[in-house]
Amino acid sequence: MAGNLVSVVDDDESIRRTTTLLIESFGFRAAAFESAEGFRSVLQGEFRVARNLISVVDDDESVRRTTTLLIESFGFRAAAFESAEGFLKSGQLHDTACLIVDVQMPGMNGLQLQSHLAAEGCGIPIIFITAYDDKESRRRAMQAGAVAFLGKPFSDEQLFQTIRSTLRPDKGGTET
């Protein structure tokens, strides 16, 4: 686990959120878990994550920043991009083990990025995140092979468990 990380374990979401904000206000990184089991799975390192790059594509800077810090607190490498086009031009495509992408963005949106990657034969697992969870977008994303479709805000543990199950070797993910 990264240095200067404080983990919060509580079944009350408001306590997790408030405590996390307080910890971050002191300059520490924080990760919140709903249960001891979720926290233990991070500590036990059920799989090695250090070489897996998780790329985050979201036009909202605060979402990119907080999601990237959260992913790094889980022990993954993270890269953030403000647009689908930026991600595609970055050279990180072949290093990315999992892609977390916003559905609605200016220019190429998340669903268009998913279609583009599929047309190129790129099988990066995609986790969609959105503040506008409509049934049609969810249906299209999942039907096209997305591994998850999370509404914002999502919990730290929910994101960790989704990434963990996506990258687990028995699920077709990578072990490093």
User: What six digits make up the tokens of 80?
Assistant: 């953030």
- Predicted local confidence at residue 167, as pLDDT: 86
pLDDT (tens digit per residue) in 105-148: 999 999 999 999 999 999 899 999 999 888 999 999 999 999 99
CA 165 – CA 152 distance, rounded (Å): 20
Collapse the DSSP code of 11 into the 3-class scheme (helix H, G, I; strand E, B; otherwise coil) and give the result: coil
Collapse the DSSP code of 138 into the 3-class scheme (helix H, G, I; strand E, B; otherwise coil) and give the result: helix
- Predicted local confidence at residue 173, as pLDDT: 42
- Predicted local confidence at residue 149, as pLDDT: 96
Report whether 105 contacts 84 (CB < 8 A): yes
pLDDT (tens digit per residue) in 82-110: 999 999 999 888 889 999 999 999 999 99
pLDDT, mean of residues 59-82: 93
Q: What are φ and ψ of residue 172, in 5° steps?
A: 90, 5
- Residue 46 burial (CB < 10 Å; 0-12/13-18/19+)? exposed
